[in-house]
Structure 1
Amino acid sequence: METIMRFAPAAAALSLALAMTASVGWSAERDPDPRAAMLIAEGQTALQGGDVQGAIDAYEAALVVDPGYTPLYLRLAEAARADEMQGKAIRYYREVLNREPRNYAAMSGEGEALLEKGALEKARANLARLESACGKSCPETQQLAAALAIGPKQAVQTAEATITLEPQPQSN
């Protein structure tokens, strides 16, 4: 018993040190691979300049270089939404949520993409999940709530879509 008591403080200190190291490993966000970082910057510049496909290409190339860098999926989702590909954006947001279940930006973005797709009830469910996870004053919650207050975007009908063909006279 005396031997156990002698090692107890050392064992406690060692376990505390291991617990601290493990929690830092889980919570610390890492930087992307330097080559991926250059491609991400290129993608951001392209997206800001309105070159959505150029942004997608840069982000996908960065993903090949550093597939473990989770924030890249958020950028891909943003670009997909700008390209009006909400289904693809939702897939990217869900990848982030599979990796980081409490990623508020992914919850909010997925809710907005669902809203843009017309899935109002699913978007509201995301808002409820976000409110319970980070509260009503959380910026991501407020962003999704504001989008829901505006409602889904109405599809713009083009002139070409409204043209109706006149029946052709039949010849006998």
Structure 2
Amino acid sequence: MRVSSVALAATLAVVCMSTSLSGQKPDDQIDARSMQLLNQGKAARAAGDVDGATDLIETAAAVDPRNRGAFVTLAQIADSRGLPGKAIRLYREALLLEPNDLSALSGQGEALVQKGAVNLARQNLAKIRKLCKTTCGEATELSAAIAKGPPVTTAQVEKKLTATPE
């Protein structure tokens, strides 16, 4: 009696695990509908329809949340619209899926510089240099952005103007 209940429980556990594992897709297979929506969104962005592109790409990310390209493209759009905080969050989503994505590391670093977090951007630059054994474009772009520094805000400009003698 004791053996049969343990055997039954073990059998149920094996059946549950095997059905849940067979229902999952491998991480490298992204839903074709998501990829199609991403491509349509990129085409709309290239045509100048940024709002339509954003809608299509957000739908692509909703269809398959493992679509790293959708997060990177949305982050680029947010960055081009002057929303570095949103871009940082979207790049982080992409980096959760693939921590070694050079374009996401570089883009996030540039957005961090825009927000004034230069030390965090330098950490991204160190990761990029570690991943690139030789010189790569992402490292060059990010180091240029770090050297340029964060943008001067209006309050800083006003402070400088009032501090200068007349």
TM-score w.r.t. length of structure 2 = 0.67
1:38 is paired with a residue whose SS is helix
The answer to whether the 8 A contact 1:80-1:89 is kept is yes
Show the counterpart of 1:137: 135
Residue 49 of structure 1: which of 47, 59, 62 is its match?
47
Aligned alpha-carbon RMSD (Å): 2.4
TM-score w.r.t. length of structure 1 = 0.65
In the alignment, structure 1 residue 68 sits paired with structure 2 residue 88: no
Query: Quick one: distance in 1 between partners of 2:148 and 2:47?
Result: 26
Distance 1:71 1:144, change over 3 A: same
Q: Structure 1 vs Structure 2: percent identity of aligned residues?
A: 42
Which has the larger displacement, 46-55 or 117-126?
46-55
Show the counterpart of 2:56: 58
Write the mapping of 1:38-117 to structure 2, written as runs, cut at 5 A.
Answer: 38-117=36-115
Displacement of 1:134 in angstroms is 1.9
Show the counterpart of 1:36: 34
Displacement of 1:136 in angstroms is 5.5
Displacement of 1:156 in angstroms is 6.8
Structure 1 moving runs of 4+ over 6 Å: none
Query: Quick one: distance in 2 between partners of 1:140 and 1:98?
Result: 19
2:135 is paired with a residue whose SS is coil
CA distances 1:111-170 after superposition (whole Å, capped 9, x unpaired): 01111222222212221222223245022111211222333334479xxxxxxxxxxxxx
Structure 2, unaligned runs of 5 or more = 1-25, 156-166
Distance 1:108 1:54, change over 3 A: same
The answer to whether the 8 A contact 2:114-2:151 is kept is yes
Structure (1 or 2) with the larger CA radius of gyration: 1
Aligned residue pairs, count: 130
